[in-house]
Amino acid sequence: MRSVRPALKTALLLAPLTLGVAGAGGSTTPPAAPTPPVRPASAVQPARPAGSAVSLRALADARGLLFGAAVNHTLFDPNEPDYARTLNRHFNAVVAENAMKWAGLHNNREAFAFGFADAIVDTAIKNGQTVRGHTLVWHDSLPPWVYTIQTREELLRAMQDHVTGVVTHFRGRVRMWDVVNEAVSDAPGHPLRSSPFLNLIGPDFIDEAFRAAHAADPDAKLYYNDYNTDGLNGKSDAVYELVRGMLARGVPIHGVGFQAHLNTDFDVRGAQVQANLQRFRDLGLDVQMTEVDVQLRPGRPEAGELARQAAVYRDLLRACLSVKCAGFVTWGVTDFNSWRAGGRPLIFDDVYDPKPAFAALAQELAPPGR
C-alpha cells in the first residue's frame, strides 16, 4: 500500500474553501491512455470507508446530474476493494476507459470480443449506474486490420458494421455513446484530422457513423467528443461549425462532449468555458464534461497546487451546472491508476482519500443554503 500523505491534505479538505481563480492555461493533448499501473500483489487494500461521509452520488442524484468516472481493470481487482466501493458511493455513471474502443472489442475482424466490456456494463447496471459508451469511431486504438483496407467502400462498410454491431449488442444497456472522438484537427486551416476514415471515406464518415449508431439504437443519445475545446478558441469554433452543419443535414446528433484534460494553470472563467458550453446548448444539444482531470504542475508547493486544482474543478462544475449540462465525468477514480498518475489529477488520492477537489465539487453540488 502506498503511504498516506501528510495531515495537511486533510486540513485543506475540511477547511472552508477560499479558492482563487487559476491562471491562464489549457488542455493537454491526450495520447492513447497507457495501461494503468498495478500494485504489487502483496499490497492488498483492507476494507475501509469509501472516502467521505458526503456522497457525491447522492448530491448529483438530487440535481438530476450524471456524475461519472472512467473505469478500468481495477474494478475487478480483489486487491483493490476500495476502488469499487468508492466508485459506487460517489458516482452514478461509468464509462469504460479503454474496453469499448475498437481495438478492445473488434481486434479480430471476424468476431467481436465483448467479455470485459460486458462485465463493466453489467456491474454498473447492478449498481444502478448509467453507462456512457466510449468510443465507436476514433483515429487511435484501431486494430491492425483496419489499416489494410484500401478502398472507400470497404472501409465505410467496415465502419458501419462495427458501429452497428457494438451499438446493437449494448442496446438498452448503454444509454449514450461517444460516436466519433477527436475528429477535428489541432492545426489551423485543416478542419478535420488526418485518419484512415477521413483519408479513405472522406468527411462524411462522421455523418455515416452517427446514422449507423442511430439505426442500431434509436433511443441512445449520440455525442461528438473532443479535447482542447473547453473554452472559446479556434478548435471549439471548428467543432461548433461541424455539429451545426450536422444538424442542418439532419444527422442524428444529440450532444457534444468536452474532455477537459487540464492542469492547474487553466483559467475556467478566462477561457470563457460557460459561454462556450452555452452556444452548443443554444443549438439544442446536450453538453457534458466527459473526461475531466486536472494535473498538478511539478515543482510547486503541494498546498497551493491542491487548492488550485480544487478551484479548477469547482469552476468547471459551476460552468457546467450554469448551462444545465447533462453530465460531468472524471477520467478515473483515483490518482493511483490515472493515465496521468504522475500529475495526481483526480479527486481521490492514491489511497482513496478525498482531496480538496472533492470538497470543492461537494460544495458546488450541495443544495443552495447548505
Question: If you average pLDDT over residues 58-72, what whole number do you get?
Answer: 98
Is pLDDT above 80 for 276?
A: yes
Q: Which three cell numbers stand for residue 304?
A: 497551493
The Cα 336–Cα 148 span in angstroms is 37
Is pLDDT above 80 for 34?
A: no
* Least confident residue range of 28-42, 133-147, 308-322: 28-42
> What integer pLDDT is reported at residue 49 of this predicted model?
42
Is pLDDT above 70 for 351?
A: yes
Give the model's confidence band at 370: pLDDT under 50 very low, under 70 low, under 90 confident, else very high.
Answer: low
* Least confident residue range of 24-28, 164-168, 271-275: 24-28
Higher model confidence: residue 305 or residue 19?
305
Whether the full predicted model's pTM is greater than 0.75, yes or no, is yes
Asked whether residue 14 is assigned to any structural domain, the reply reads no
Is pLDDT above 70 for 297?
A: yes
Give the model's confidence band at 287: pLDDT under 50 very low, under 70 low, under 90 confident, else very high.
Answer: very high
Q: Is 291 part of the annotated catalytic residue set?
A: yes
> In angstroms, what CA-CA distances link 370 with 157, 163, 227, 322, 364?
54, 45, 34, 18, 10
> What integer pLDDT is reported at residue 259 of this predicted model?
98
Q: Which three cell numbers stand for residue 128?
A: 444502478
Give the model's confidence band at 11: pLDDT under 50 very low, under 70 low, under 90 confident, else very high.
Answer: very low
> What integer pLDDT is reported at residue 25 of this predicted model?
35
Asked whether residue 97 is assigned to any structural domain, the reply reads yes
Give the model's confidence band at 190: pLDDT under 50 very low, under 70 low, under 90 confident, else very high.
Answer: confident
Asked whether residue 100 is assigned to any structural domain, the reply reads yes
Contacts 24+ apart (CB under 8 A), 31-39: 31/140, 32/140, 32/141, 33/97, 33/98, 33/339, 34/339, 36/72, 36/73, 36/74, 36/336, 36/337, 36/338, 36/339, 36/341, 37/336, 37/337, 37/341, 38/77, 39/1, 39/2, 39/79, 39/80, 39/336
Give residues with Cβ within 8 angstroms of 154, minimum separation 6: none
Inter-residue contact 69 to 334 (CB < 8 Å) = no
> What integer pLDDT is reported at residue 188 of this predicted model?
83
Range of the domain at 75: 49-365
The angle that helices 302-322 and 273-281 make with each other, rounded to 10 degrees, is: 30
* CATH number of the CATH domain containing 357: 3.20.20.80
> What integer pLDDT is reported at residue 161 of this predicted model?
98
The Cα 236–Cα 240 span in angstroms is 6
Q: Which three cell numbers stand for residue 14?
A: 475540511
Question: If you average pLDDT over residues 21-39, what whole number do you get?
Answer: 40
Q: Is 208 part of the annotated catalytic residue set?
A: no
Give the model's confidence band at 27: pLDDT under 50 very low, under 70 low, under 90 confident, else very high.
Answer: very low
Is pLDDT above 80 for 50?
A: no
Is pLDDT above 70 for 22?
A: no
Give the model's confidence band at 4: pLDDT under 50 very low, under 70 low, under 90 confident, else very high.
Answer: very low
Can you give the length of the chain in residues? 370
Domain count, the chain: 1
Question: If you average pLDDT over residues 310-335, what whole number do you get?
Answer: 98
Asked whether residue 99 is assigned to any structural domain, the reply reads yes
Question: If you average pLDDT over residues 255-284, what whole number do you get?
Answer: 98
The Cα 226–Cα 206 span in angstroms is 13
Inter-residue contact 165 to 211 (CB < 8 Å) = no
Asked whether residue 44 is assigned to any structural domain, the reply reads no
> What integer pLDDT is reported at residue 189 of this predicted model?
79
Alpha helices in the chain (DSSP H): 8-14, 56-63, 81-90, 102-105, 115-126, 152-169, 196, 205-216, 234-248, 273-281, 302-322, 356-365
Question: If you average pLDDT over residues 20-47, what whole number do you get?
Answer: 40
Percent of the chain exceeding pLDDT 70 equals 85
Inter-residue contact 361 to 347 (CB < 8 Å) = yes
Is pLDDT above 50 for 330?
A: yes
The Cα 223–Cα 273 span in angstroms is 18
Inter-residue contact 312 to 266 (CB < 8 Å) = yes
> What integer pLDDT is reported at residue 19 of this predicted model?
38
Asked whether residue 9 is assigned to any structural domain, the reply reads no
The active-site residue, picked from 80, 97, 208, 291, is 291
The Cα 329–Cα 69 span in angstroms is 5
Is pLDDT above 50 for 144?
A: yes
Give the model's confidence band at 253: pLDDT under 50 very low, under 70 low, under 90 confident, else very high.
Answer: very high
Asked whether residue 115 is assigned to any structural domain, the reply reads yes
> In angstroms, what CA-CA distances link 3 with 38, 138, 140, 350?
16, 38, 36, 8
> What integer pLDDT is reported at residue 301 of this predicted model?
87
Is pLDDT above 80 for 326?
A: yes
Q: Closest Cα to residue 352, out of 25, 35, 49, 78?
A: 49
The active-site residue, picked from 80, 182, 208, 364, is 182
Asked whether residue 33 is assigned to any structural domain, the reply reads no
> What integer pLDDT is reported at residue 31 of this predicted model?
37
